[in-house]
Structure formats: C-alpha cells, structure tokens
Structure 1
Amino acid sequence: MINTTYHKPVLLQACIDGLALKPNGIYVDVTFGGGGHSREILRQLDGGRLFVFDQDPDAKANAQAIDDPRLTFVAANFRHLKRYLRLYKIDQVDGILADLGISSHQIDTPERGFSTRYDAELDMRMNQAGALTARAVVNEYPEDKLHKILGMYGEVTNARTLAGAIVSARLNRSLESVNDLKSVLQRYAPRGKENKYFAQVFQALRIEVNEELAVLEEFLTQVPETLSPGGRLVVMAYHSLEDRLVKNFIKSGNFQGEIEKDFYGNEIKPLRSITRKPIEASAEEVSQNPRARSAKLRIAEKI
C-alpha cells in the first residue's frame, strides 16, 4: 500500500505511462520520498531493477519498509546520479523519473521549517546534514543577495523593499523562527494575498538553501548519457523556474533553449519531446490533492 500520509503522488498514472516501462528494464526514481511512484514501477517490473535516490533519512525508512530485492536505495542527492549508478556498475538505464515537488511529509513536519502554517526554527534543509539553513540566509546574507533570491526564486514583486526590511529588522534582533520572519513580511504583503506572498518568500529561501536549480541543471546534463537509446525521462515541476529549465533542456539540450546545428544543418539535441505541452492534473485530482494544482509533467525520449 502506498504511504499516502507521507506524500500523495501527483499524476501517478501519467508518470508511469510516460516511462513506457519494460518489465525487465532498469529504472531510476531520483526523488523517492514516500515511494508512491516507485511502488507502482515495481508492480510492473518482472526481472527489472529500480534504483531510488533520496537524501532525506525519513525516505530511507520508507524504502526499507518496501523490502524488495529489486529495489536499491541510494542515500544521496540526485545531482550525483551518474556517480552512484557507476558504483552499482550501471552505465545506462531505460527510464528516469523526477518529481521535483517538496513532499507533503516535509511540509507537514513543523520542525523542518518549510511551512508558513507552523512556528518553528527557520531550517528548510532537505538534507539535514547540510550546512546552510534558511535562518543563516535571512540573518547573514547581504541585502543585494537577498534582493536577488527573493526576486529570482520567489518572483516577489517588491523584492528590493523586502530585502531592505529584513536587513533592518535583523539589526534589532536575529530572525530565528517562522513567526519572526512572518512578522516582517506581514507589513509588505498585498492585502488579502498574504498567504501567497509568504509562500513566494518561503519558496525563494527553500530554493537557495537546497540549491534546487543548480541541482536540477546538474541532474539534467547527466540524463542523455545515462539513458539508453529510446529511454524515457519523466519530470514533474511545480514552479515556472524549474519547468523552464526542463522545457529548454528537452527542446535543445541546453538551458537557454537555443537549438544548435551541425555543419549540415542537422539539429544537435540528445532528447525528443513526447509531450508537446506539459501534462497537468485534472480538476478531480486537484480537488483531492491541492498540491497537484501547479504540477507540470514533461516527457522526453533519448534520440
């Protein structure tokens, strides 16, 4: 049974269909979490293998609960995809799945500091052995750097003003908790849209703390070499910055989205897009799982 209390998998069937599973194939789920997608992959394998990555100790416990010899859990960030697969003597695989969303479990664990709903220390580390916390970002980053991450990663409209306000507030006392930070944000949030504003700021901090965009770029550049010809890449993104990187890489093999051509005018790109437009959750799925609302699923195949 899928551990839906940990994380309800979004677009589960579309992800599985996108992988075009071969019963004896080798697959990778780089964001194991509660194991919802992985359990469904295992159900359809016969003689195949599944490698799963996750840096969160709670995810490791979920993997151990599955107890299936075909499953190999890798306690690492998926930016190290190739390195760990080589440790297991795996050069190429038939499919790679990445669900880039933060798990419901992480959001709903107050002490992790991901949620604006609970007061907790400003942490937000997905890997709890990581050195950088949201508290350090808020209290130690210079104003220009705060401005940059709030504007770029959170798409906060008044990012410059807010960065200045955070720097002024921390002169009086350090911002230690979720509520400390929210008390500063409250004065700058558009009326009636406070929760959305808080979420944008928290998203910016989370992306910075976990280097999410750098990790995604490092991962994607390893995909063409890791996939067998005809192998599938299935990626689900939850905000426009991630989705743009995925879209551009599938389209062109780079993050600018500019297709390069060889001497004869042939396009040089490692992947072919299977989905002309991203697949999105149905109204029914969104009503059952509100976090599916922003999901965009893209599928590509190695040429």
Structure 2
Amino acid sequence: MNLKIYHIPALLQESVGGLNIRPDGVYVDVTFGGGGHSKEILKRLGKNGRLLAFDQDEDAYQNHIPDPRFTFVKSNFRFLKNFLRYHRIDEVDGILADLGVSSHHFDDSDRGFSFRLPGDLDMRMNRLSRKTAADVLNEYSEEKLSDIFFFYGELKSARKIATAVSAYRRSKKIGTVSDFLEIMKPFAFREKENKTLAQAFQALRIEVNDELEALEEMLFQGLEMLKPGGRFSVISYHSLEDRLVK
C-alpha cells in the first residue's frame, strides 16, 4: 500500500519536534496509520532507541516499518498501559497522538466514513467490532440518537434528525450512505450542507468507535506512563477532542 495514498501526516515536524526526542529514548505513536510520524521519530532515534506504534485497523499493518527498533501493536490505544507492560516497558519518554480519521478511511467507500462516496454505513475503525453505523441508526432509540447527534455532532437539529431516522426505518432498513443522505436532506441546507453532513457523520463515527471514552482512557494512561520530563504531543481536530486533551 502506498504511504502517500494512505495518509499524509499532519503537522509532522511540529508534533515530532515537540517530543524533543532523545536518541536512546522510548517513544509511542498511538495512531500509526500510514506511519508518517513513526518514520520521522525513527529518523531521530539512535540505535538503542525504541518505538511502539498502535493502530486498531488491520489496514495500517501494511505500512509496517521493517526496523528492529520498531514494534507494531494492533490494538486500540485505550489499552496503552497493558501493552506497554506486556512489552516490559514501565515508562516512556514521549507519546504522539494524531487524532481523527486518516485520509485512507475517507477515501475508501467500503468503510462508509465519507458522505461523498456511496457505500455501506460501516464506520468501524476495527472491522472485527460488531457495531456499525447502520446498526446505530436502525437499533438505537430515538432519544439516544438525539443525544448522539447533539453531543457528538453538536447539531441544533439533533432531535428532528433522530425523529426523521425513526420514521425512515419504519418503512425501510437503513444500510447505506445514500439512505442516510436521504434522511438528512431536509436538514442539510445548501449554504451549510457539507458542514451539517460532516457533523452528522462525525457523531455516528464517534459512537461506533467509542472515540471519546477511548481517548480519555489513553490520555490518563499516557500521563501515568510518561517519565518525569516526558513529552505528550497531541493533534486534535474538533472541539470534543480538544476539551478532553486540554
């Protein structure tokens, strides 16, 4: 898989530079993705340095870096502490997290992350997980859907969207991106269409992957595993992530 196609790392120099890397240090990239940040960290490590990289998506393993200093962990970063202990690491010098969705996910119509591409409403980061975005829309109560769209998507029309979902699924099961776009038509006005749809898809993605709970767990564990004077470099993309990080 071509790294450039998979994902272009955000704020590469700034985020890695912020770690103030020691050549013999131990570092963790909790969002490996295309491996861009990990490769930059390895460039700055000496022969005795070490890097562990986490990613729950099996696609990311295809970007595995053949380097004896590198260890790939196929897991959600919410299990950071457990896997560090498994690899006999008690503390680390730095942790890097590039939150959000990689361009690879948005560009793959089979994953259902983008409202711009047709496909099934999946949105699972880990495809071994059971719950998909379609499951959320078909099975959750109207009240719970309203909460998801309001709190995770920050949509003022959350309650009306939930009601529309409930009405739609009474006559037809929701299964595709096109189905959800049909439901969203009355709420995605032309001047704010892309923003509204992005917020609605974000809400579903956060729920499917339990993103905020996982992030909170990783942040607490990461702080616990950092050495005194260690660095934690986090790139966040929306206000919900930002509040937790700060």
* TM-score category (smaller protein): over 0.9
Provide the C-alpha distance between the structure 2 equivalents of 1:74 and 1:223, rounded to a whole number of angstroms. Answer: 15
Q: How many residues align?
A: 244
* SS at structure 2 position matched to 1:119: coil
Classify the secondary structure of the residue corresponding to 1:192: helix
Give 1:1-303 correspondences, 5 Å limit.
Answer: 3-46=3-46, 47-63=48-64, 66-247=65-246
Note the C-alpha offset of 1:4. Answer: 1.9
SS in 1 for 2:18: helix
Q: Which amino acid aligns with 1:92?
A: E
Which letter does structure 1 place at the counterpart of 2:36? G
Could you tell me how far 1:86 is from its partner in structure 2? 0.5
For the residues of structure 1 that align with 2:235 and 2:223, how far apart are their CA atoms?
17
What secondary structure sits across from 2:4 in the alignment? coil
Gaps of 5+ in 1: 248-303
Q: Please give the alpha-carbon distance, in whole angstroms, between the structure 1 residues aligned to 2:130 and 2:112.
A: 15
- Please list the CA deviations of residues 105-135 of structure 1 after superposition, one character each: whole Å capped at 9, or x if unmatched: 0110110000111111110000000011000
In 1, distance between residues paired with 2:42 and 2:228? Answer: 22
> Aligned partners of 2:189, 2:62: CA distance in 1, in Å?
41
Runs (4+) of structure 1 exceeding 4 A deviation are none
Quote how far apart the aligned CAs of 1:174 are: 0.6
Give a deviation string over 1:249-292, Cα, whole Å, max 9, x none: xxxxxxxxxxxxxxxxxxxxxxxxxxxxxxxxxxxxxxxxxxxx
Counterparts of 1:163 and 1:19, CA distance in 2: 43
Greater relative CO, 1 or 2 (CA 8 Å, sep 6+): 2
Cα distance in 2 between the residues matched to 1:175 and 1:245: 32
Please report how far the alpha carbon of residue 206 of structure 1 lies from its aligned counterpart in structure 2 after TM superposition. 0.1
TM-score by length of 1: 0.79
| Per-residue CA distance 1:229-255 (angstroms, 9 max, x = gap) | 0000011110100001101xxxxxxxx
Q: Give aligned-pair identity as a percent.
A: 56
Code of the aligned partner of 1:85:
L
RMSD: 0.9
Question: Counterparts of 2:189 and 2:158 in 1: how far apart (Å)?
Answer: 13
Aligned AA for 2:53?
V
